[in-house]
Amino acid sequence: MKLTNLFKTAVLAVTVTTLSGCGTMNAIGNLNDGAGETFMEIWDKWVEADGDIADATMWEVKVDEGVELEDVIDAINAVGVNRNIKNV
């Protein structure tokens, strides 16, 4: 009896995982051009960060000495536009 329950649980888990993945792929297909690549990049970083979404959505770049704060802000905004990330 326990083996039957284990088998049912495994089938249910596989079904839920498959359907969830199909929904994710469908959602990616509905994104604007270029946004799917950004989503997958963040997804990969999220998995590497063990589910820490804050870590997955940050980019770090060293700023050279003497660069003005306004130039850094402009560069950050330009990167967001290039990566299809809306500045909010």
Mind listing the pLDDT tens digit for each residue in 39-85? 788 889 999 999 898 888 887 889 999 999 999 999 888 877 777 77
More confident residue, 43 or 25: 43
More confident residue, 5 or 53: 53
| Token representation of residue 15 | 């079904």
In a domain, 75, yes or no: yes
Q: What does the alpha-carbon distance between residue 47 and residue 55 come to, in Å, rounded to a whole number?
A: 10
In a domain, 70, yes or no: yes
pLDDT the model gives residue 67:
95
Total structural domains within the chain? 1
More confident residue, 64 or 14: 64
Contact 15, 7 (CB under 8 A): no
Name the residue range of residue 33's domain: 2-82
In a domain, 88, yes or no: no
34 vs 20, 23, 41, 62, CA distance in Å? 22, 19, 11, 25
In a domain, 87, yes or no: no
